[in-house]
Amino acid sequence: MKTTKKPKIVCFCGSSKFIVEMAILMWEFEKLGCIALGLHYMPPQYGKMKGYSESYDHLVEMEDVADKMDELHKRKIDLADEIFVVNVKGYIGKSTRSEIKYAKKLGKKITYLVNPKVKKNGYKNT
């Protein structure tokens, strides 16, 4: 009988500005055998179908569900073994900082796409 190792669960955190990059990274992690949790990719057509003329990268604000999504994302962090921060060009926004702080409090491993410079806020690889 073949025994299979439990797959690592990785929660992807980052700005919805980077939804496309996040979707690509999640796919790559899943090909490696990880379970990837994160934001869901919304194609530009979705925003147009909903009647939005602005960019689709901030649908949570346009649909007024940001607080609900932030809370749900923390539940994903609860389920995860670690988090992967998608910080394109080093950008880490307010919600992502909150998620990193939450993950640290839980003792989760934190990895960054771009190694952040250590600043007063203490965001660095852990």
Q: For the segment 47-70, what is each residue's pLDDT rounded down to a tens digit?
A: 566 665 555 556 666 677 778 888
Task: Locate 14 and state its tokens.
Answer: 């980052």
16 found inside a domain = yes
| pLDDT beyond 60 at 76 | yes
Domains in the chain, number: 1
What element of type H or E holds 124?
A: none
Which H, E and C letters describe 95-123, residue by residue?
HHHHHHHHHHHHCCEEEECCCCCCCCCCC
Per the domain annotation, does 82 fall within a domain? yes
Residue 33 within a domain = yes
* pLDDT value for 125: 43
Domain with 26, as residue range(s), is: 9-112
> Is the predicted pLDDT of residue 126 greater than 50, yes or no?
no
Average pLDDT, the chain: 83
Does a structural domain hold residue 62?
Answer: yes
Q: Would 56 be classed as within a structural domain? A: yes
Query: What are the backbone dihedrals phi and psi of residue 114, each rounded to the nearest 5 degrees, phi first?
Result: -110, 125
Q: What's the pTM value of the predicted model, to 2 decimals?
A: 0.79
Q: Cα separation of 98 and 23, whole Å?
A: 21
